[in-house]
Amino acid sequence: MNILGIETSCDETAAAVVADGSRVLSNCVYSQIQSHQPYGGVVPELASRQHVEVLPRILDQAVTQAGLDWTALDAIAVTQGPGLASSLLVGLSAAQSLALRLRRPLHAVNHVEAHLYSLFLPDSPTSTRVPALEAPRLVLMVSGGHTALVRLEHVGRYQWLGQSLDDAAGEALDKGANLMHLGYPGGPAIEQAAESGDPEILSFPRISIRASYRTAGGLDPDLCFSFSGLKTSLLYTLRRRPELLENGNLKDVAASYQEAVFDALLDRVERALDKAPYRSFGCVGGVARNQRLRARLEETARRHGLALHLAPMAYCTDNAAMVAGLAGAAGGPPPADPAALDVEPALRLASRPIS
């Protein structure tokens, strides 16, 4: 089954064709980074306007690179949420039009679930080998918009264990880079600056969540994240010691700040692994591209005797291959009525009934 996936939840315009849930025939992504760089972050109106301009071309590229005709597509899949409402609407409108015109089923995909599914995509476009992740699996999702711990039984069956109570880890890195005048996007900029830095030069606070605190969803505070205090600490440190912004010192600031973010992530992972048994451990999302984080995840998995599965580099950041792949997987989202679908900017991850 050939499924065309469409992803426009934020500032990447993406389309891909995936066969049988895992064979990636094409994966086309247009990044808007240069457009948003002058503003230090994503401007929603600008993002949606560029999606409108670029998406038709990206769709054509995806189908052409897959070596298919439009009539060879068996279904359409699109990100319904969570994300920016105006951006999601561009992708959904295109998907609805295609589904009706081609008379193909339309699958509405949860963006967070699609990231989790990226663990099941092959490492390279030429490979058909699907990673074997033994269940139950603990998955750390870490990106610009989401930071969470999820227990993954199989596709469609999840338990949301913990999440960020304020900034996501990727957002904390972006804001930290902005304070250090490193530019946007902040995660890669901090990673590059930190490569030659000493992470022990500065001491930043780690997560501090009172044991009595309970989130609205009744999540375990031991498995939740908080990065607002870390960001504030960096702000006041740089105000108090402006000399740290000089080139010779900046690498140490970047390394220390990055390490504090990763310490917070790994602390929660360790707690989750201590609370319940798992057979494997995974990490998905844009921040999972960071080489320092990947090395630390490997150390953690090795220490616990777990198989580690990291999302392939091509599928860490937003893409449509994970959207199309999930729609074609056993246990993936069923077809929906195109005319009844609407975007859901705050869509939550939920398990589907076992059919």
Query: Tens digit of pLDDT for each residue in 70-103?
Result: 999 999 999 999 999 999 999 999 999 999 999 9
Residue 197 inside a domain? The answer is yes
> Using an 8 Å Cβ cutoff, are 83 and 346 in contact?
no
The answer on 146 and 94 residing in a single domain is: no
170-194: b (≥16 Cβ within 10 Å) or e? bbbbbbbbbbbebebbbbbbbbebb
The answer on 85 and 35 residing in a single domain is: yes
In total, how many domains does the chain have? Answer: 2
Q: What is the DSSP code string of 40-80? A: TS--HHHHHHHHHHHHHHHHHHHHHHTT--GGG--EEEEEE
Domain that holds residue 19: 2-124+316-340
Residue 347 inside a domain? The answer is no
The answer on 172 and 119 residing in a single domain is: no
User: Is pTM beyond 0.85 here?
Assistant: yes
CATH number at residue 16: 3.30.420.40
How far is it, in rounded angstroms, from Cα 331 to Cα 334?
Answer: 8
Predicted local confidence at residue 335, as pLDDT:
97
Residue 352 inside a domain? The answer is no
The answer on 32 and 162 residing in a single domain is: no
Query: Tens digit of pLDDT for each residue in 232-271?
Result: 999 999 999 999 998 789 999 999 999 999 999 999 999 9
Residue 351 inside a domain? The answer is no
The answer on 46 and 111 residing in a single domain is: yes
The answer on 55 and 114 residing in a single domain is: yes
Average pLDDT over residues 302-306: 96
> Using an 8 Å Cβ cutoff, are 59 and 4 in contact?
yes
The answer on 307 and 323 residing in a single domain is: no
Query: Is 216's pLDDT higher than 60?
Result: no
